[in-house]
Homo-oligomer: A and B are copies of this chain.
């Protein structure tokens, strides 16, 4: 076991209690990525459930998580035949860091949609036309774990020319070949840089709340990730992410609300 699987492993230490060893490579500076943390919470929720998939994960981020030991508490609130719900908390040094209401269920791998809305109006360009943000393949940290290839037209913020449109589009896969699966999708929905960077915002945009829904079992291959936003007002910004698999299926959707820091362009 290595890479993403090891980094998200949970060890059962009691009834509804788990421990994890959080991997600093899934973060930036001192703060671990929210999607990575949700992946750990979802893994614990599924382990404690009779069902296979985290259908709904509504996570609130209370404090930055640090690399190292964390404890998870899974408190089952309802155990139904179709779905089960638990409150899952991640605790470090005795303080709650992330809490999530997680509903698990089991999606059929061969389920055919009764209705599927249109794919995003602007697709991610072909992989060979997209760009890694990395100078080389020797990157460490988050970029060393995750292979993302960006639509260049959505990355103007990198060189000081933000597009003015809160959109980022990219291809996504884990470098170690893991997944995609139910747990890695939690990472995927929060892997893009903040789309508010294209509105001229500066710096970190801490996620306050993120809800994501798993909608289908993803097929092998690259995932197309579409990030957008609706409103930046009073320091609050929403970001919506849709994840489409290699067969063109919508496999995950999320919305988060984040604080956008000082330095926003008026």
Contacts and interface: CB of A to CB of B under 8 A. Distances in A.
A60 B253 contact: no
Contact of A208 (B56, B117, B265): B56
A232 B85 CA distance: 21
Interface in A71-95: 77-78, 82-83, 85, 87
A101 B58 contact: yes
A56 B209 contact: yes
Interface in A241-265: 242, 250, 253, 255, 257, 259, 264-265
A58 B209 CA distance: 8
Q: Is the interface of A mostly helix, strand, loop or mixed?
A: strand
Q: Shortest 8 CB-CB distances between A and B: which pairs?
A: A58-B58, A111-B234, A113-B233, A211-B211, A56-B209, A115-B232, A114-B232, A117-B230
Interface of A: 55-56, 58, 60, 62-63, 77-78, 82-83, 85, 87, 96, 99-101, 103, 105, 107-108, 111-117, 166, 199, 208-209, 211, 213, 215-216, 228-236, 238, 242, 250, 253, 255, 257, 259, 264-266
